[in-house]
Amino acid sequence: MEEIKEKNVPAFGYELIRDHLLSSLLGKHEQEVLYWSGKDLARKFPCHSTEEIEAFFQQAGWGNLTLQKYSKNEAVYHLNETLLSESRSNRCFKLEAGFLAEQLEMMNGRMTECADDITSVAIVFTAKSE
């Protein structure tokens, strides 16, 4: 069995692709494409619990995700980025929002949408289910 080692990605390289190249390529459709891409990623990498979703965020380098509030129709998560926290006001977080929406939809079996809000403390994701 081949051993898989963690590889470190330079923050600058990640920033180039995530914050500059993607926005240039996608233009005015960036938010919509990233949201649906996040949903697609969730279908390819299904999680079966909040703990697995949090671990995925960590492993993907998206930051530290924590569940703040949960009810039948709503879940609120906070994301504290591990990379580039000083530039987060310019970043689009629709990829992460789409990923969360689809994971929760698959877990609870109900249509779920997720919105993101950038605050001074964290990125807040609010997922609402029908």
Structural domain contains residue 4: no
**Residue 78 burial (C-beta neighbours within 10 Å; 0-12, 13-18, 19+):** middle
Whether 60 is in a domain gets the answer yes
Q: Is residue 24 part of a domain?
A: yes
* Confidence band, pLDDT 50/70/90 cuts, at residue 17: confident
Is the model's pLDDT at 10 over the cut of 80?
Answer: no
**Is the separation of the CB atoms in 41 and 99 below 8 Å?**
yes
Confidence of residue 1 (pLDDT cuts 50, 70, 90): very low
The span from the CA of 44 to the CA of 46, in Å, is 6
Q: Is residue 66 part of a domain?
A: yes
* Number of domain units in the chain: 1
CATH of the domain at 37: 3.30.1380.20
As a 3-state breakdown, the chain gives helix, strand, coil percent values, each rounded to 5, of: 50, 20, 30
Residue 38: inside a domain: yes
Residue 42: HSE in the Cβ half-sphere, 13 Å Cα cutoff: 26
Domain presence at residue 49: yes
Bigger pLDDT: 7 or 46? 46
Note down the domain range covering 89. Answer: 11-129
Instruction: Give the other-Cβ count within 10 Å of 118's Cβ.
Output: 15
Q: What is the pLDDT of residues 27-43, one digit of tens each?
A: 999 999 999 999 999 99
Tell whether 101 is covered by a domain.
yes
Inside any domain, residue 1: no
